[in-house]
Amino acid sequence: MTFDYLQRFSQKVRDYIARRAAARRGKRALVREILSLQIMITAVIGGLAVAALYWGGQWVLQDNYSRWALQWTEDLNELGAPLYLSNDADALLRLESFIGKYSEIERVTYYKNDGDVLFSISNLEHQQQAPPNLSRTMLQNVSDLAGGDTPYVMKSSLVNARAFTILAPVWTESITGDGLFEFDPESPAETSAIDLIGFVGLELDFMLFHDRLLKNIKIAISVLLLVLLVSGIIGRATLRKALSSISDLQEPISELAKGNLTVQFKPAEHREISEIVEALETTATALGERDARLLRLANHDVLTGLFNRRRFVEELKKEVDNVSVNEKSSALMFVDLDQFKYVNDTCGHPAGDRMLRKVADQLIRTVGDQGHVARFGGDEFAVLIPGTSKTKARTLAESILEDMRRLAHIENDNVFHVHCSIGITMIDSSRFDHDDLIAQVDIACREAKASGRNRLQFFSMSEREAEKMVADVGWMSKLREAIDNNAFILRYQPIVDIATGETTHHEVLLRMRASDGKLVAPDAFLPAAVRFGLMAEIDTWMIENAISALAAYREEQPGLRFSINLSVNAFESENLAAFVRTQLTKHDVPAESIVFEITESLAVRHLKHVEQQISSLRRVGCQLALDDFGTGYSSFSHLKRLSVDYIKIDGCFIRELVTSPVDQKMVRMIAEIGREAGMKTVAEYVQSHAVFELLGKLGVELAQGYYIGRPSAAPTRRSMPVAIDTHRRGPRALPG
């Protein structure tokens, strides 16, 4: 079961890798996206900085130009005012000298108060044509500014911030009030008179200064761009280095997902990534430890730590192949503890487990490095010795027997001496596969037990016996397939009341369909099932499917009852009654409609377990039948201990009943004892009407056989013809 879990886990890992690869193809790379975002942010910040620097420079230039222009206009207003009053040659010289000092001044024009040009002075560096007179609209706008707080009109452009045209009124201002000593400038009565005498126009071009400043701005922008570029490159390198820790995780995580738990993670410099790496390393370590535990569970027995059956069979298969190639012989041993069940029954299963661990330790010490030791199941162990001879195998087996004889197990002041029986078979060719070899050592071990236990036995057989064993192995594979694929078939044989001829219940019989479609009787395959330990699974299949079929048939035949055959393996299970109760509840079948049968010979061998299980089944409400009664030693004494409802007389007493007085007396005695014990008797193998009629006279109550009815695919009720005198006498009318 653990091995199946590992297979499912491996498949889940492969599915996860496929899903992860598909998801990765449709997703963006985190590192690339972060680096691209960093470049984009740097470009945006650089562009905004350049734009701010350029337009900010333009604004600063325009503001400075405006301040200079206004200052020069005020100076020119003062310098040109005398020219309106008189033709002052000195004033004209001062004006020309002022203009010559500033190369930014292209031309200064003075206008009359009617807007006509009075005169114009151009800078020597600029040759301009005569300026036009002022327009009526411009004349009106400028005239209104005389004496005001904003005496200038400026024309400029933000795009061409270096060019200005400034027009300002020129006026005279006089005090209208008299009285020099009594003059009060704050008094509203003391007003001044403003006399507009003309206008001054100033045309400016800051080309040289503007170009030099823009050149410096461009240099500054270039330096800024270079700084941004360098910082971007450095930032990208720094960011890539910082993110490289994440990129370094991609391949190790991919390997980890593939199941490579030895993958190495690069150490990270950053705390967050370092913590992730530590978590992944811890996860890989935990997964490795878990896989090691799962692998050990898949290959080793939990109780003893030895190889389990699955792993041992793998080693056996390899050794069979090695023997066929290297032409060397090996030995396979099967060790079965004698009377181990006595320890469990006396001191409980925990004591038995402690004893098994002690036996396993002793086997490991005895075998050492000569071979492999495995727990095959229960109290059974297997030993594989590669490259050995028959003599060496015998010597080792004798050492195992001797060491086990000396091994004593103390439990609750009870001392148990461990004895075992050993079956041995030699592996000297590829003639037999692993299943054949296991069957051989099992047979040899059984022979050792039958010969008195506490001894070893080599497997030997004739050619006919070998063919039979191979046939048994073939049956085992067929049985395994039938169990796994639910391929068994049920048949139903009626049991009738001899006094009335009416069917009381049906015995459920097991059949298996062969490859050619024919039905195989249980006598052909059940012996192999017993030898290879498959009866417990067959019993489980039988109980579950028989109860399920009874539930279906009772819908049309409410009074239908089934009798189900079970092996002793079922009665050894502690969970038999609980399992039966579960199936009855599941299919809503009353317990009194079920009769369980067990053969007398098997019941006597395991009397204690059978007694307990019979009591448990009777508490559930089921009835019990003792099959093949009369063949065992002191059969009648067992009726005192086995509380059953039916006694099924063995067929050896029925086949020649009509002609054998001894058989008649035996059948009559069984019927009488059964009746006194409150049990009904059933005669099997009833083949004729004469036997059927004689059974009624002998006091037998129920009959079963081909005369009554052959096994059929479905249970059918039938009535048997009954003689009038038999019906009148009933079961008490016995022959004298």
* Catalytically annotated residues: 379
Q: How many helices (H) and strands (E) does the chain have?
A: 22, 21
Decide: residue 729, CB within 10 A, 0-12 exposed, 13-18 middle, 19+ buried.
middle
List the Cα angle 396/401/402 in 5-degree steps: 95
Residue with tokens 């562009």: 47
Bridge-partner residues for 495, per DSSP? 505
Phi, psi of 189 (to 5 degrees): -75, -25
Measured between alpha carbons, how far apart are the two ends of the chain, in Å? 64
| Residue 494 near residue 709, CB atoms below 8 Å | yes
Residue with tokens 């823009």: 214
3-state secondary structure 329-378: CEEEEEEEECCHHHHHHHHCHHHHHHHHHHHHHHHHHHHHHHCEEEEEEC
Judging by DSSP bridges, how do beta strands 562-565 and 594-599 pair with one another?
Answer: parallel
Bridge-partner residues for 159, per DSSP? none
Token readout for 695 is 């059974």
Q: How far from 209 is each of 70, 166, 386, 594, 620, CA to CA, in Å?
A: 17, 19, 105, 119, 116
Closest CA to 649 of 668, 673, 672, 630: 630
Judging by DSSP bridges, how do beta strands 408-411 and 414-417 pair with one another?
Answer: antiparallel
Token readout for 234 is 């450095």
712 secondary structure, DSSP code:
B
Phi, psi of 637 (to 5 degrees): -70, -25
Phi, psi of 201 (to 5 degrees): -115, 135
Closest CA to 392 of 413, 370, 419: 370
Closest CA to 448 of 482, 398, 414: 398
Judging by DSSP bridges, how do beta strands 646-649 and 623-629 pair with one another?
Answer: parallel
The CA dihedral of 469, 474, 475, 476, to the nearest 10 degrees, is: 90
